[in-house]
Amino acid sequence: MAVAVAEGSVPIANPRRKSRTAGLYPSWFYLPAAIIFAVLFMLPTFASLFFSLTRWSLQKADFIGLDNFVQFFREPFLFQGLVNTLIYGTVTSASKVVLGLLLALLLTSDIFGRGYLRAVVFFPVLVSTVGVGITFTAMMHPTQGLINETLASIGIKGPGWLTDPRFALYSVALVDVWKGVGLATVIYIAGIVSIPLEYYEAAKIDGATSWQRFWTVTLPLVQPATATVIILSFIGGLRSFDLIWAMTKGGPGFTSDVIASVIYKQYQAGFYGLSTAGNVVLFIMVALLAVPLSMFLNRKEVDR
């Protein structure tokens, strides 16, 4: 949302563009959108920048300069939260790319019940995240959960999926992948079906094996879909909160805390200024990582 603000402000700031489009519609025509934009997007953005510099109790705000940011970066769990956020974003994004592409290949082949199977893959995307979180929390219970009871019946002692500090973050990431891979699959299906069949026929005539056809035709030509999936799932992973909160609340202790859950805890504790500062940090971090990534992926697309 905040990224949209940055991009959206460009036409207003750029007089040349403005003059080009100004003639198309009478200026009152822009007014409703401009008001909505100003009230719902510009104002909160500037207000949050201001409040991040204060000690705020919702009723009164004392200006304290950059103290909140200093405090936020001194927060002992913050560094762990930063690392966890990056791990979470990378793991979920990479898994969704690989699994989404494989599933899309399967579901664009002449498989029986293709329409139904495509729907099945997409269903988890539609389910409430908190519902999924609670269900998996019950299934991942160390002693009474379905997963460990199943493992126990074949003689394996399963780990504490959500309670062992070594696994908690990855267990949540796994559920995130299960829930989100459907969207990646759909994007890949659209990418794959838009590749003209002539390329495959030409490759076949040249004697390419199916592996070569995948590697040299499909993969390069679904590059736009890959870029979309990576950007969407990486940003989604960086700002992920709901699933983590529903499953571990950042626990055990602080071991699966991500930036978003650290921010929420500050808010919960009534440190409103500090949590606003955290949101500014999160926004800057997402922008710093996502904008270059997006530029890199899109340039690659143009090169080809």
In Å, what is the CA distance from 88 to each residue of 191, 258, 298? 26, 8, 23
- Verify binding: residue 159, other proteins, rule CB under 8 A: no
What is the smallest separation between the CB atom of 81 and other proteins, expressed in angstroms?
A: 12
For the CB of residue 151, give the shortest distance to other proteins in the complex, in Å. Answer: 15
Q: Does 76 bind other proteins (CB under 8 A)?
A: yes
224 three-state secondary structure: helix
- The one among 114, 141, 213, 239 contacting other proteins by CB under 8 A: 141
Pick the piece of the chain touching other proteins (CB under 8 A) from 4-12, 28-36, 57-65, 79-87. Answer: 57-65
| Residue among 71, 108, 218, 228 that touches other proteins (CB under 8 A) | 71
Neighbours of 48 (CB within 10 A): 15
- With CB under 8 A, what is the number of residues at the site for other proteins? 32
Nearest to 227 by CA among 304, 294, 182: 294
Determine which helix (DSSP H) or strand (DSSP E) holds 55, and give its type and residue range. strand 54-56
Question: What residues contact 181, with CB distance under 8 A and at least 6 apart?
Answer: 95, 96, 99, 100, 103, 121, 124
Report whether the peptide linkage leading into residue 32 is cis, meaning its omega lies within 30 degrees of zero. no
**Closer residue to other proteins (CB): 72 or 88:** 72
- Taking the complex as a whole, how short is the minimal distance between the CB of residue 76 and other proteins, in angstroms? 6
Q: Is 268 in the site for other proteins (CB under 8 A)?
A: yes
Name the token pair of 53. Answer: 């510099």
Residue with Cβ nearer other proteins (64 or 289): 64
Of the pair 118, 265, the CB lying nearest other proteins is at 265
The CA distance from 67 to 287, in Å, is 22
Please name every residue paired with 61 in a beta bridge, in sequence order, or none if there are none. 56
Question: How far from chain centre, in Å, is Cα 72?
Answer: 23
Which of 21-29, 50-58, 207-215, 278-286 is the region at the interface with other proteins (rule: CB under 8 A)?
50-58
Binding residues for other proteins, rule: CB under 8 A, are: 55, 57-59, 62, 71, 74, 76-77, 141-144, 160, 162-165, 249-255, 265, 267-271, 274
